[in-house]
Structure formats: structure tokens, C-alpha cells
Amino acid sequence: MNGTSAIMAVSESYRLFVLEQLVRVLPVSAKSMFGGIGIYAQELFFALIAGDRLYFKVDDSTRPDFEHLGMEPFRPFGEEHAMGYYEVPADVVEDVAQLAPWMKKAVGVAARAKLSKARRAK
């Protein structure tokens, strides 16, 4: 097993817990990918689980919410390669009332990104 796979490994108990929390807000599906889990809502890739941490897709409108709380971006390839996903605070994951608006914003970010990509392709 290479280092990236080991870092991204997800325990079954954490995977089940997160998916149970998320489906209390919106229907989701999950797919294994590179040792982690990709999470989709309405066919939009809006979240991932890696290393027993949940990350939501962000853009310039939502990134400050995560940074304000000191949350870190997903960096599967080292410090200089941050991706457009930030770790969700544990207390948010544990409380569906807090989780719902964060999750809906992440799905919105994914929808805007998909629309923007489709417009660029034309």
C-alpha cells in the first residue's frame, strides 16, 4: 500500500456514521475512490471522506466559513497541492441541525461548478 492510500483510508464505522448523518439532510450515494469515499447528492460530487475526516466542496463564497474555524483544505499530495474541499468541523458533522446548511451550501457549490464547466465547454 502506498502512502497516499494509507493516509486516505476510511474506517467502516466512520463511513457509516457520516453517511447516516448526511442522509438525514439529503439523499446521498457514496463511491470508493483511491482509498477514500466520494459522496454525491443529486449526482453532484460535493464531499469526500479521507482519513476519517469529512470534507465539503468549497468556493470563494464558502471557503471563509471553514477558514474562520481553522479548518484545513484536503491535501492528498502534500502542502502545496490543496484541493477545493475543506474539512467539516466535527461538531457540525455530529449535529444534523448544524450539518444541514453546511451540506446544502456544498451541494450548491458543486452545482455552480458543474454549470460553469458546462458553459465553458460550449
pLDDT 10s digits, 2-42? 334 445 678 999 999 999 999 999 999 999 987 899 999 98
pLDDT 10s digits, 50-61? 989 999 999 999
CATH for 3-121, options being 3.30.1460.30, 3.30.70.1230, 3.90.105.10, 3.40.50.720: 3.30.1460.30
pTM over 0.75: yes
Q: Which residues contact 103 (CB under 8 A, 6 or more apart)?
A: 22, 25, 26, 41, 46, 47, 56
Structural domain boundaries in the chain: 3-121
